[in-house]
Amino acid sequence: MSRIAPLEPPYPPQVQEQFDKVMPPDVPPLVLFRTVATSTRAWDKLRGGSLLDRGPLTLKEREIVIDRTCALNTCEYEWGIHIAFFKSPAKLTDEQVRATVLGAADASCWNEAEAALIAAVDALHHRATWTDAEFAALKRHYDSDKILEIIQLCGAYRTISYFCNALQLPLESIGARFPEV
């Protein structure tokens, strides 16, 4: 059980309207959303972070950043939701999904641009910066708008990982599970 009890239905009309905007039809609001929404300020800040808009990255690039960030933060909750909802639309293979958790940046399932992306996420997670070589590798494949988006997604999903892990959110039944070693 979550350390902070999530909202239970019926939700206040304004909150229900917001849930309807971020959830697919006929899918109940995630425990994460229901828990953060117990605080209007926290919920507004989470929604205001533009996590749910498309941005300049392709869906596959975006999901690689999010999935790797969540995996590095051992956030099975959010990783599992993203795999469940976006694996197919992002055209991630089973090997790539596994590699977001267990693979190195140079795993054979990644092309050169994706390998640079994974390496960039890893560096931000471990050192909060990039070496000149890491930045140059990223810059060969991604423009400034995409690079800024990568930084923001890494930071945002580290925060999401903090919410999920620190509050001990129970895994969603619809979410994927981390692959076995």
Condensed to tens digits (0 to 9), the pLDDT of residues 149-158 reads: 999 999 999 9
In a domain, 8, yes or no: no
**How many domains, the chain?**
2
Answer yes or no: do 32 and 83 share one domain: no
| pLDDT reported for residue 51 | 67
What is the predicted pLDDT for the residue at 114? Answer: 98
**Are 24 and 87 members of one domain?**
no
Residues 31 and 70 both lie in one domain: no
Asked if residue 174 belongs to a domain, the reply is: no
6 domain-assigned: no
Residue 50 scores a pLDDT above 80: no
Q: Residue 52: is its pLDDT beyond 80?
A: no
The whole-angstrom separation of Cα 124 and Cα 81 is 22
- Residue 135's alpha-carbon distances to 99, 132, 153, in angstroms, are 22, 5, 16
Query: Would you say residue 1 has pLDDT above 90?
Result: no
Q: What percent of the chain has pLDDT over 90?
A: 92
List pLDDT tens digits, range 88-147.
999 999 999 999 999 999 999 999 999 999 999 999 999 999 999 999 999 999 999 999
Q: Which residue has the higher pLDDT, 135 or 22?
A: 135
* 57-89 pLDDT per residue, tens: 999 999 999 999 999 999 999 999 999 999 999
| 131 and 153 part of one domain | yes
- Whether 103 and 162 map to the same domain: the answer is yes
Domain range holding 18?
Answer: 13-48
**Residue 151 domain-assigned?**
yes
pLDDT, residue 48, reads: 83
